Each structure stands twice: as C-alpha cells, then as structure tokens.
Structure 1
Amino acid sequence: MNMFYAVLGIAVLVSLLIVARFFYGKRVGVPRNTSVSLLVVAGSGGHTTEILRLLGSLSQSYSPRHYVLADSDKMSEDKIRSFERKKAETSPSSLFTLNRIPRSREVRQSWSSSVLTTIRSVVYSLPLTFRLKPDMVLCNGPGTCVPICISALLLKLLGLKRVTIVYVESVCRVENLSLSGKILYHFSDHFFVQWPALKEKYPKSHYLGRIV
C-alpha cells in the first residue's frame, strides 16, 4: 500500500511540474523593481553557509528576505540571525523573516517514504508561498527547496504572481547534480553550476566559475 501511494505521489508531483512548465515555459528575468522580495531556502550544514555567502554579495534591494528552514534544522537559524545582525549594521531598514516547513527528505530516508514526506512538505509550503508572494526564490540544493519551487510554479500557473526561480548548485557538486538539481534543472528560470564539467553535461545551465 505504501508503494501505491508513493507511485501516486510521484505522478501528482510530476504532473504539477509539467503543467506549470507548459503554461509558463518562457523564462523570465529578475523583476526590475526598486526592491525584490526574496524567498531563500536554507539547508542544514554547508547549504546554509553557501547561500548566506551568496546573499552577502547581493545589493540592499533584495529585501525583505524570507528564509525557509526545515523544522528539524537546528543550526541554520543561528547562522541566519548572525548574518542578518551584521547586515543590519549597514542597512538598519533591512527586513527578514524565518519560516519553517516539514523536511521533505531526511538523510538515508527510503525513496517510497520520501515521496510521501515531500507531498506533506508541499502542503505546508503552498500557503506560505502564496502568502509571501515573493518576486524571486533562491535555493542551492536542500530537499526543502523542491516543495517551495513547486509552490512558486503554482503561483505562476494560477496567475497570482510571476516568480523567478534561481537555482545555484552547491560547490561540492563537481561532476553530478544533486537530486534537487536534477529536478529543478528543468523548471528553474536561471540555473547556475560552479564547475565546467557540469556545464558540459547540462548545457542549459550557466557557468560563471565559483560564485560562493
């Protein structure tokens, strides 16, 4: 029975992505507003460190920043708060929020059960993403980013907000994409890799060298 629900869940997720991609297949640029509402997906360990390094190179126009963390991630919140305290020293008006959703997949979790937990994560991600209506989603590989990006695609599909999805593959991925990268390579608006071998394998990606 679990396998049946797993297969059904995969079919639902894939169908949602294909439909959203069909209706909103044209890639869009980053909004040219005076400010860009940014939804940032943090992941435990190195993912959060990398994404904060990337945020450190962005201008003050990327505000507010809405961080999304897995509910079992105990380390990222401290890193984010420390980063934002330093940012507030130069930009007192800088705004950010912290938001938690269920983790879509734990390390070494079985594939069948991970589909079910991913669907659960999507259920929590939808109202959050629809409420925040970000201009851009920025992520770099944690499993939590897949439900968030699915929600952003549905925002486009329903005509509620045209969200730009920017995916930056982790620097530790030298020859192969992460599972999140393999999924979002087909649906992100801008997909960046940090090694030339990945650019050769995935020609639609952008290679600018190491950026984090």
Structure 2
Amino acid sequence: MENSISNCLSVSASNLTALLVIGIVTVFVIRVLYVLHRSARPRHPNSSSQQHLSTLIVLGSGGHTAEMINLLNVLQKERFKPRYYIAAATDNMSLQKAQVLENSLLDDQGGREKVVGSAHYMQIYRSREVGQSYLTSVGTTLLAIAHALWLMIKIRPQVILCNGPGTCIPICVIAFIFKVFGIRWSYIFYVESIARVKRLSLSALLLYKLRMADQLFVQWPQLKNKYPRAHYVGRLM
C-alpha cells in the first residue's frame, strides 16, 4: 500500500514538473514570437513629443565610422540624447571623430550642452580581431558578450544605431534578450554600408536572418529585391 502511494506521488511529481517545464517553454516561445512580431512594426515616435531618446551609436573602423558620422550629421540631436558612442577597444580613431562631431555641435550652440545633449564615449572588447583564429575567438567572443551585457545594463538605451562593424552583434544580441525578458525595449536600426551592393555584410545578414533589427536599411535596390524585409532608402552618402 505504502509503495503504491509512493509510486503515485512520484508519478504526480514527475507530471507536475513536466507540465511546469512545458508551460515555461510555451510562455517563452510566445514571448519571442511577440517580440519578433512587434519588432517588424516598430513604433514611430511623435515628432512633436519632447521626450528624449537615449541613443547608443556603434562605431566601426575606417569607412564604417565615416558613414556613421555622415548619418549623425542629419540626426535630430535635440531628440536623440544623451548619445553613447561605442567603439572597439583597439579603435581610438573612431571615438576621436565622434568627439570632433560633438565639439562642433557645442560650438554651433554656443557651448550650451543642455541644448544639444551630453555625449559619452566607451570601448568594448572585439569578438574577433582580424587574423585571429576561430578557436581562440570563442573565448574572446564570450568576453565581448559579457562586456556588452555590462554596458547594456549601464546604458539601457532606447535606440541603437549601427552600420556594419561586428562590434554591434553582441550588443544587439543582448538588446534582443532584454526585449524577450521585458527588461528594456531598445529599437535597433541598422544601416547597411553603401559598399554592400550585391549581398549583405555578415553583421547585417545575422540581424536580418535572426530578425533582431527593428529596421534594416539598404542603399541599393538589388539588395531590397534579394532581402525583401529590408528598407531601400537610396544612397545616403
């Protein structure tokens, strides 16, 4: 008798555990699907609103930074602030260019930082350096993700702007995880480089296939034809 009761209790506990696991998985899948659905239809803030949007700007090296600076020149600075510039730990030139841009804004506003919005400059570990072996890049990728997590917790941006560097991938992954768990909803806007004419860069392809970017912009019509969920905006440069 006692054995029968014990067996029944054991089976009941196993069933309850299984139902609990299934329930958690189901809720998680529903939440992921909701995030993907909502990301495909990003909110368009009212331009008349006075709300400021904290903005994280991911800078790459060389041409990526030049293109991003050009984009920032037409950004509504009064709206997108404070601005957080992030570049790879080995890339000092990009942050210097961002500082030059911000200093020019202060000069235009007569030094009134409260009008333009404060800027912050940070660096993040690279997932993989040029020429680094894929084996050793596993460790550096994990380090980059941990660093990205710390930065995202610290900044908690409402908007993320990126245009190509692999540095943006850990940040976008963390931002997507934050969306799923309801920690913070960061709108990810990716602008593909004008140098990409026939196919997306690896960073853009990952964000496109995994549907992490709220909007992905391309500058060539053939890319729009090949990747229909992308937004063709013509040449921005």
Would you say same fold, with TM above 0.5?
yes
Uncovered stretches (5+) of structure 2, i.e. residues with no partner: 1-27
Matched, 1:174 2:197: yes
Task: Specify the SS of the correspondent of 2:91.
Answer: coil
Counterpart amino acid of residue 73 in structure 2 = G
Percent of residue pairs bearing the same amino acid type? 42
Q: Give the CA deviation at 1:97.
A: 0.4
Range 54-63 or range 31-40, more displaced = 31-40
Q: In angstroms, what is the RMSD of aligned CA positions? A: 1.9
Range 180-189 or range 108-117, more displaced = 108-117
Asked whether the 8 Å contact 2:85–2:95 carries over to 1, the reply is no
Report which of the two has the higher share of helix. 2
Count of aligned residue pairs for this structure pair: 195
Structure-to-structure mapping, 1:52-91, within 5 angstroms? 52-60=69-77, 61-91=79-109
Structure-to-structure mapping, 1:46-57, within 5 angstroms? 46-57=63-74
Instruction: Determine the structure 2 residue equivalent to 1:22.
Output: 33
**TM-score, normalised to structure 2's length?**
0.77
Q: Using CA pairs below 8 Å that are at least 6 residues apart, which structure has the higher relative contact order?
A: 1
Counterpart amino acid of residue 75 in structure 1 = M
Task: Specify the SS of the correspondent of 1:40.
Answer: strand
TM-superposition CA deviations, 1:135-179 (whole Å, max 9, x none): 110000101000111111122122121110000011111111111
Range 26-35 or range 58-67, more displaced = 26-35
Range 161-170 or range 22-31, more displaced = 22-31
Uncovered stretches (5+) of structure 1, i.e. residues with no partner: 1-17
Range 108-117 or range 39-48, more displaced = 108-117
Q: Give the CA deviation at 1:30.
A: 4.8
Matched, 1:210 2:235: yes
Change (3 A) 1:177 1:110: farther
User: Could you say which structure has the larger radius of gyration?
Assistant: 2
Where in structure 1 do 4 or more consecutive aligned residues deviate above 4 Å?
18-21, 30-33
Match of 2:156 among 115, 127, 133: 133
**TM-score, normalised to structure 1's length?**
0.85
Task: Specify the SS of the correspondent of 2:178.
Answer: helix
